[in-house]
A and B are shown apart, each in its own frame.
Chain A
Amino acid sequence: MSAEYTVKYYTHNTYDESVREAFFSFLIIPCQDETQTVRSLSFENSLQAEVFHHHNPFGFEVTSLRTAQNFTEFEFQMTATVEKSPVYLPTGSRLLSVEEEQSLLARHDFYIDHHLYLATSPYTQIKDELYGRLLFRKENQPVFDYLLQLNTFIYQMLRFDPEPTHVHTTVSEVIELGRGVCQDYTHLFIGVARLNKIPCRYISGYLNQGLSLSGTAVMHAWAEAYIPGHGWQGFDPTNNLLADINYIKAAHGADYSDCSPIRGMLRTNGAHRTSYGVEIIPNQMAESAQ
């Protein structure tokens, strides 16, 4: 039974001084994969600028626009209709034994093919002295089983609080603070998974707002880890859930720096204020009307 959503992303920026030239790039379009199909897609902006697209290194569509007209306000909106089918969990007979899992993870070729999701990055690097506070995989523990525990562990370790962290907060700082937002929960999950030699990547996307979960008013972040024999599986440590039919993925990358939803380059002298938000509305599926 699949679901259909209307996803909206909008941003509204105001500038103290007139902007003379601007270039914006957005990484916000719901992606297409085994469980997601984009049925319709449209963009509007207050400058009437033509948007154009290119793929980023991870294969996700970047939406850009450039303008040379003067402005002090900028509004941008994307509207997409996405069909999402159920996500299959890594259970049952297809799973490998612990030995098979570990021997795959230890293969040199496997490491090279997944190196972006195994290396530490400034965001996900954890200081050695903090290892004692983390949860590591036990010797005979299957990967999926361990990651489920880690998901809960991080959910309990941190308190959701947008106050103390910002977009440049590193995992080590998050551990010290004990608080953070979905980006911080996700980076921590990724950092620990990688210490256990499990490929893990950062996901930015949208969470069905029909559920009263944290992180729905803005773009959400969660992690995908590689389960040997199964493939990529999404974990949301912010809500202690697995990514299911309510999770609409936009892009993935090694960490937040590959997924930041908006980048801009402006020629202006003053300060600016930005506000942005997202809406995810489940549609009445055609088949439920039958």
Chain B
Amino acid sequence: MNTLVRQGEARGVFGNYQIPPQFLDEVFSNAGKVNPQYESIYRQFMQFSKEDFKELNEHAKKSFFNQGITFSVYNDKAKGLERIFPFDLFPRIISAAEWARLEEGIIQRCVALNLFIQDIYSTKHILKDKVVPAELIFSSKNYMKEMLDIKPVAGVYNHISGTDLIKHSDGEYYVLEDNIRCPSGISYVLTNRVAMKRSLFQMFKEFNVSTVQEYPQELLATMQSVAPDGVVAPTYVVLTPGIFNSAYFEHAYLAHNMGIPLVEGRDLFVDNNFVYMKTINGPQKVDVVYRRVDDEFLDPMAFNPKSVLGVPGIMGAYRKGNVSLLNAPGTGFADDKAVYTYMPDIIRYYLDQDPILNNVKTYRCEKEDEYKYVMENMEKLVIKPVDESGGYGILIGDRASKEEISEFKILISQNRRKYIAQPIMSLSMHATFIEGEDCFEPRCVDLRTFTLLGKDRSFVLKGGLSRVALKKGSLIVNSSQGGGSKDTWVMKD
């Protein structure tokens, strides 16, 4: 560790900031110099004494508490733990030029994914041309025959995508995964910004930061663009599984900010292949549903018959074209981590362009030679199950005990289709305020970006969720694993 104590700065909140070797720090260069885009914000933060900053931090936390922003962590106890989402006041800054390139790459990826889903549920050209192995798709539990030959409005399936990026030690961005089922986190992006402005409004004004608060309106406009043909004044709803869902706050927040009803499955019903909402004035037809209920629970007539969270008959209404669903059901096979490895090929196949964003090198355990490599080099790799989300079931080779490694070897050998491996990517580090230490320390950070695709429109939010792994040395930033987040500033030119 090369300790860096800046002359005369040890009193401040950056007191004893140590830049870990082999990692890229977003704020400081390896020589300990502040990177240009952070210079002025760093100067501002240097003026705080530890006591001042602690007070400010408490203030920010209260802001979240008062906004009712919580997150549940599922654990083995029957009751989830509701927590305040840990927030860090020191923003992550991305320059306009860097962002422009990212945005291009993200749109390219989301458009390619959409074409891919469309193809799989109709002509299957990509499989016939053997660009992607057919078995890989057909064996995915998220490939849904119920979606065969359904044509969603404007051919859009993944209206809302969350693309997860990391910055590797080579200074390049890599896509870690695509989330195109029910990506969450946008409400934290918006509330982080509110908390930031409330806590540091004087400072915030001085910077030329792109806004994020237009997201709810953009989402509504996206919903509007894909309303069923011929509907004059569509009715929109947000469909939530209910208050026990870990992202319930977000469902409520989005509905509130779009000015549309938040409903549960029992508030809706289907009759004559149309969806209706039960209201005190009688049934009201619903045309567009932003659904945050997973595929499996969406319609007990088509999927899991035991589900009480869904709307019986909604798939029939959808197939008839009488209601639009965002996202379309059955997108899950495409953000499967095994399909991820084919993303560069998928982009080339549909768009005839080279991928703008990098993919992480991925080994597929179902392939004999790659399986062999994985088994022999487990301590150098991250092993992930292809179909889990939220950072569950992951093994990080260089941190696992011998027992854990041999356990995983057995798991993989029993179900090779289920596991992929990637080199251990070093996430970039970012100065993060650590309570207890009461000063800034470097922590791993990633970035979830949010993209909307509608009829003849696409939008990438200029900002995103920078998630930080609060545990020292941890690489897992998922909020379900106790990660926190910071505001993300995309600068204007």
**A contacts, CB < 8 Å to B:** 21, 23, 25, 50, 52-55, 57, 62, 64, 66, 68, 108-109, 111-112, 115-116, 119, 254, 258, 263, 265
Contact = CB atoms under 8 A, between A and B. Distances in A.
Nearest to A50: B272
A109 B145 CA distance: 18
B130 A108 contact: yes
A52 B319 contact: no
Given A25-B313, A54-B316, A57-B147, A263 B128 contact: no
A66 B271 CA distance: 6
A52 B271 contact: yes
Nearest to B145: A57
Contact of B313 (A57, A64, A109, A119): A64
A119 B272 CA distance: 34
B134 A265 contact: no
A108 B127 CA distance: 9
Contacts of B134: 108, 111-112, 115
Contacts of B391: none
A108 B128 contact: yes
Interface of B: 124, 127-128, 130, 134, 138-139, 145-150, 269-273, 300-301, 305, 312-313, 316-317, 319-320
Instruction: Tell which of B124, B272, B312, B316 has the most Cβ of chain A within 10 Å.
Output: B312
B272 A23 contact: no
A54 B145 contact: no
A131 B8 CA distance: 78
Contacts, number: 63
Contacts of A50: 271-272
B184 to A, nearest CB: 27
A50 B270 CA distance: 12
Counting from the closest, the 7 A-B pairs by CB-CB distance are: A23-B312, A54-B316, A265-B312, A52-B272, A66-B271, A57-B148, A25-B301
B320 A54 contact: yes
Contacts of A23: 269-270, 301, 312-313
Given A23-B270, A57-B147, A57-B149, A112 B313 contact: no
A106 B368 CA distance: 23
Contacts of A109: 128
Contacts of A108: 128, 130, 134
B268 to A, nearest CB: 11
Query: Of residues A53, A55, A66, which shows the largest number of chain B Cβ atoms within 10 Å of its Cβ?
Result: A66
A111 B313 CA distance: 31
A68 B282 CA distance: 12
A55 B321 CA distance: 12
Given A54-B273, A57-B146, A64-B316, A112 B301 contact: no
Contact of A54 (B139, B149, B319): B319
A64 B269 CA distance: 13
Given A21-B269, A25-B301, A50-B272, A66 B148 contact: no
A265 B128 contact: no
B470 to A, nearest CB: 41
Nearest to A257: B305
Nearest to B283: A68
15 contacts: A23-B270, A25-B316, A52-B273, A54-B316, A57-B145, A57-B148, A64-B316, A116-B145, A119-B138, A119-B139, A254-B145, A263-B300, A263-B301, A265-B300, A265-B301
Contacts of B150: 57
B128 A55 contact: no
B349 to A, nearest CB: 16
Contacts of A53: 273
